[in-house]
A and B are shown apart, each in its own frame.
Chain A
Amino acid sequence: MKQFANLINTVELTNKTNDKIDAFVDYFSKAPDKDKLWLIAIFTGKRPKRPVKTTLMREWCMEIAGIPEWLFLESYSTVGDLGETLALLLPNPSRSDDRTFSEWMQDIVDLRTKSDQEKEAFIRNAWSSLDMQERLIFNKLIGGSFRIGVSKKTLVNALAKYSGLEANQLMHSIIGNWDVNSISFDALIHGKHINYDNSKPYPFCLAYALEKDLNELGSIKDWQIEYKWDGIRGQIVKRNNEVFIWSRGEELVTKQFPELVEVIQSLNGDFVIDGEILALKDNGILLFNDLQKRLNRKNITKKLMEEVPIGFYAYDMMEWEHKDIREYPLSERRQRLENLFESNSVEGKRLFLSDVITVDTWAELHEIRAQARSKDSEGLMLKQKESPYHTGRKKGDWWKWKVDPLTIDAVMIYAQKGSGRRSAHYTDYTFAVKKDDGLVTVAKAYSGLTNAEILEVSRFVKQNSIEKFGPVRIVKPELVFEIAFEGIALSNRHKSGVALRFPRISRWRKDKPVEEIDTIETVKQLIYSTH
């Protein structure tokens, strides 16, 4: 465990991705193979199920530390993380323990089937033999998420640097089906259990924000124009009856979208296509926040699939029947994509062709962009018809032309401390606008303030909270913020009757008194003006 704790410690003492990678490389070159396998397992969501209830762990901790429950809760609310709170409250160890990381993990796996007494003895024994950093790691391994500012991608880059193997292949290898006890570290990273030829993705072609006048782009006839969607950029690879979905961050997200995999599986031909994964419901596109639920869950339940149904808007094809066609002009690739859709019956099957907008003049396009919100789109994409599918970001052939955000002025009425790195400050706010003589909440927003502003708001919250509701502080309605958002729709789920799409704080209106914030009526008018 010491070796693993040292790795985590080193990673936490630097902000530099390269240093983190070096720390992992160092670990890979020194740690036992079994430890390395467990490390990869944990970073890829292959964690053992929680063997002990957290409420029990809390009770034991309070008893050992000799503190009452209210003091435990105060501590927890300050720390913002249960595993860390326990680690901080427990006394220093009375002895040490030499079990390796993988031995600890195996013990945790085996714990599930043990009796309650054995579980309690195991946890107490662990706590009294691990130092602060090790206790924290141990508590995290028992249950809860373990975030240390290292993404799957960083881990893969470290493995690539250590082994000299290709990063995407490693991504496929570690994501694939494997079990710590039935594979060697070497076999795992060399992908003995997978067929990388079937999953290998292409680098995504990326667009720049439009920075010139439309007329400078030449004839509109040379451009393919589509709506821009605010979803998850995805590359679908289908080869030899295997289907893979890669996200733009070069992570495999296949398991997150089982219903999409099923549809793709049923199509004729092998191909690689590019498009956008969107949450589609009731003839509209759900908020990105909803879509994100699909990414963050380890298991995609039936309930979640019904709650957040997804679809794929395809807009490009990079490979057809194992032939790389990225050098073909876009117009031809588009034709092949349309052929794929025509030769398969995809009607109502979550698979859609991204519509091509045909207009005769650039002037008309301004009009269409202005109406983009009524389609739940965030703007337009302009793609040169002759262009190849570029590797990465290349200026000139693909442009994104987003609509300007909508804004309202609202007052902060609730504040809550953030979690993780934001746990010390009030960073999550709820905003309201005027309704009759009172206020009604319209949005929750987290981002958009500088650290200095967050400290200032936090101080205001501490000094002006009217009431406490668990972790939520009701504050004096005084601070006015401009809230920007991408779209607005009527909603029954929200008390105000409206739902904002991707709301965030655009600026703090220190100049504006609370009397001058927007009313719910003016907010609702935005719906009619955008649809």
Chain B
Amino acid sequence: MKIVRFTKKGIYCIPGKFYLDPWYPVDYAVISHAHADHARSGMKHYLCHDDSKAILKHRIGKDISIESLPYGKPITINGVSVSFYPAGHIIGSAQIRLEYKGYVVVFSGDYKVKDDELTIPFEPVKCNEFITESTFGLPIYNWEEESVLRSRLHNWVSSNQAKNRTSVFVGYSLGKAQRLMKLLDGVANVYVHSAIHNTNEAIRSSGIELPTTELWTVNTQKQALQNNILIVPPALLGSKMIKRVPNMATAICSGWMQIRGNRRWQSVDAGFPVSDHADWNGLITAVKATEAEKVYVTHGSQAIFSKYLNENGIYSEEVKTEYGDETIDNDQNVLQES
């Protein structure tokens, strides 16, 4: 049975007559998560997870037509049962499950398999067809345990404190920033840029608790930042505002930082491989757990991961999508994952 089709506008559900994370304006968009390459403006109607609703309104517009669902609760659209399952990528991120006449297709959106202690963990969903991302679809990408990662970040902050430095972390305002807040909770005071602050407020408005942060403004005293932590979005790198922070050390946190060349390419001090995507083993585990007969591989290393699956007895095809484009969010200057 064919219930989804890959079109120029996005992933289309044929009987349901709606799109999943479309990149061109459509009438009805079912959204996996609120990152800009998945949730774009201009849709007549949005459907997303409850925790994404406030963020979407904050990012796209207060007046958009939007409804939301909790995880696991289905809604029927033109005879297709649509439900959300945790994707573990960022707060409010979901896999989208479509069921039509007993045939099930799951679109992963972006996901990570390991528990970051902030996001509701990924939950595998059995299906006939699985559409998976493959951002880090190479065996060189293997993430460290959260505890190891945490102590690496903490050690770096302490070594900066030994020199009275401010530790500046660079990460997306939605997702990476909150992950960092969680990882760095309790080490020092955490200041955040207004873009992150506003996103945090949107998340908190849906009743989700986040670690305490302070808003960083032009009026923040220089002494207040000393020995403390500042989190900024990538667009701030190299800006006048960031240059005002005295005596700082800067770190980029992204899965791409797994590779030394990437760490050294950026003119920052440190790079830490903190990712919100599945690593190589995570992708394989996730795909196997779905028991899908057919796996579509999208954004990232689709050709490689798809070839690997086929060689290992899992029927797979690669699909070209427009997700994972780093120009979105105006972050051309820095390697980030979205």
Check A424–B138 contact: CB distance below 8 A. Answer: no
A51 smallest CB distance to B (angstroms): 24
A164 smallest CB distance to B (angstroms): 22
Determine the residue in chain A with the shortest Cβ distance to B138: A75
Check A452–B333 contact: CB distance below 8 A. Answer: yes
Check B332–A420 contact: CB distance below 8 A. Answer: no
Near A by CB (< 8 A), chain B positions 321-338 give 326-327, 332-333, 335
Segment of A80-88, A382-390, A438-446 engaged in the interface with chain B: A80-88
Check A421–B264 contact: CB distance below 8 A. Answer: yes
Tell me, in angstroms, the Cα distance from A135 to B327 when the chains sit together.
35
Query: Taking the complex as formed, is A322 at the interface, i.e. its CB lies under 8 A from any CB of chain B?
Result: no
Tell me, in angstroms, the Cα distance from A202 to B253 when the chains sit together.
45
Near B by CB (< 8 A), chain A positions 455-490 give 455-456, 459
Residue-by-residue, is B91-106 near A (CB-CB < 8 Å gives 1, otherwise 0)? 0000000000000000
Contacts of B250 in A (CB 8 A): 15
Query: Taking the complex as formed, is B209 at the interface, i.e. its CB lies under 8 A from any CB of chain A?
Result: no
Contacts of A84 in B (CB 8 A): 259-260
B177 smallest CB distance to A (angstroms): 21
Near A by CB (< 8 A), chain B positions 263-297 give 263-270
Check A88–B140 contact: CB distance below 8 A. Answer: yes
Check A75–B140 contact: CB distance below 8 A. Answer: yes
A485 smallest CB distance to B (angstroms): 26
Query: Taking the complex as formed, is A71 at the interface, i.e. its CB lies under 8 A from any CB of chain B?
Result: yes
The residue from A19, A75, A420 contacting B261, defined by CB atoms under 8 A apart: A420
Check B270–A424 contact: CB distance below 8 A. Answer: no
Check A15–B333 contact: CB distance below 8 A. Answer: no
Contacts of B163 in A (CB 8 A): 19
Contacts of A13 in B (CB 8 A): 156, 159, 251, 269-270
Contacts of A420 in B (CB 8 A): 261, 264
Contacts of A423 in B (CB 8 A): 259, 261-262
Check A424–B332 contact: CB distance below 8 A. Answer: no
Contacts of A452 in B (CB 8 A): 332-333
Tell me, in angstroms, the Cα distance from A13 to B271 when the chains sit together.
7
Check A14–B269 contact: CB distance below 8 A. Answer: yes
Query: Taking the complex as formed, is A68 at the interface, i.e. its CB lies under 8 A from any CB of chain B?
Result: yes
**A interface residues, how many (CB within 8 angstroms):** 37
The residue from B251, B259, B269, B327 contacting A424, defined by CB atoms under 8 A apart: B259
The residue from A65, A89, A456 contacting B332, defined by CB atoms under 8 A apart: A456
Tell me, in angstroms, the Cα distance from A421 to B267 when the chains sit together.
10
Determine the residue in chain B with the shortest Cβ distance to A10: B159
Contacts of A422 in B (CB 8 A): 261, 265
Tell me, in angstroms, the Cα distance from A67 to B307 when the chains sit together.
12
Secondary structure at the A interface, as helix, strand, loop or mixed, is: helix
B152 smallest CB distance to A (angstroms): 9
The residue from B138, B249, B269 contacting A78, defined by CB atoms under 8 A apart: B138
The residue from B139, B259, B263 contacting A65, defined by CB atoms under 8 A apart: B139
Contacts of B261 in A (CB 8 A): 79-81, 418-424
Determine the residue in chain B with the shortest Cβ distance to A424: B262
Tell me, in angstroms, the Cα distance from A88 to B258 when the chains sit together.
9
Query: Taking the complex as formed, is A16 at the interface, i.e. its CB lies under 8 A from any CB of chain B?
Result: yes
Total A-B Cβ pairs within 8 A: 89
Near B by CB (< 8 A), chain A positions 370-425 give 418-425
Check A68–B259 contact: CB distance below 8 A. Answer: no
Query: Taking the complex as formed, is B122 at the interface, i.e. its CB lies under 8 A from any CB of chain A?
Result: no
Contacts of A16 in B (CB 8 A): 249, 269
Tell me, in angstroms, the Cα distance from A423 to B335 when the chains sit together.
13
Contacts of A75 in B (CB 8 A): 138-140
Tell me, in angstroms, the Cα distance from A328 to B261 when the chains sit together.
50
Determine the residue in chain A with the shortest Cβ distance to B326: A455
Determine the residue in chain B with the shortest Cβ distance to A74: B304
Query: Taking the complex as formed, is B315 at the interface, i.e. its CB lies under 8 A from any CB of chain A?
Result: no
Tell me, in angstroms, the Cα distance from A70 to B266 when the chains sit together.
29
Tell me, in angstroms, the Cα distance from A11 to B137 when the chains sit together.
29
Contacts of B263 in A (CB 8 A): 12, 421
A67 smallest CB distance to B (angstroms): 6
Query: Taking the complex as formed, is B311 at the interface, i.e. its CB lies under 8 A from any CB of chain A?
Result: yes
Determine the residue in chain B with the shortest Cβ distance to A16: B269
Determine the residue in chain A with the shortest Cβ distance to B267: A15
Check B140–A85 contact: CB distance below 8 A. Answer: yes
Contacts of B327 in A (CB 8 A): 459
Query: Taking the complex as formed, is A525 at the interface, i.e. its CB lies under 8 A from any CB of chain B?
Result: no
The residue from B138, B142, B265 contacting A425, defined by CB atoms under 8 A apart: B265
Tell me, in angstroms, the Cα distance from A425 to B265 when the chains sit together.
10
A425 smallest CB distance to B (angstroms): 7
Determine the residue in chain A with the shortest Cβ distance to B260: A84
Query: Taking the complex as formed, is B308 at the interface, i.e. its CB lies under 8 A from any CB of chain A?
Result: yes
Query: Taking the complex as formed, is A113 at the interface, i.e. its CB lies under 8 A from any CB of chain B?
Result: no
9 additional A-B pairs beyond A15-B267, A79-B140, beta carbons within 8 Å, are: A14-B269, A15-B250, A74-B138, A80-B259, A81-B261, A88-B258, A423-B259, A424-B256, A424-B265
Instruction: Give residues in B with beta carbon < 8 Å to A.
Output: 138-140, 142, 156, 159, 163, 249-251, 256, 258-270, 301, 304, 307-308, 311, 326-327, 332-333, 335
- Would you give 29 A-B contacts (Cβ < 8 Å), ordered by A? A12-B260, A12-B270, A13-B159, A13-B251, A13-B269, A13-B270, A14-B269, A14-B270, A19-B163, A71-B304, A74-B301, A78-B140, A79-B260, A79-B261, A80-B261, A81-B260, A84-B259, A419-B261, A421-B260, A421-B263, A421-B264, A421-B265, A423-B261, A423-B262, A424-B261, A424-B335, A451-B266, A451-B267, A455-B326
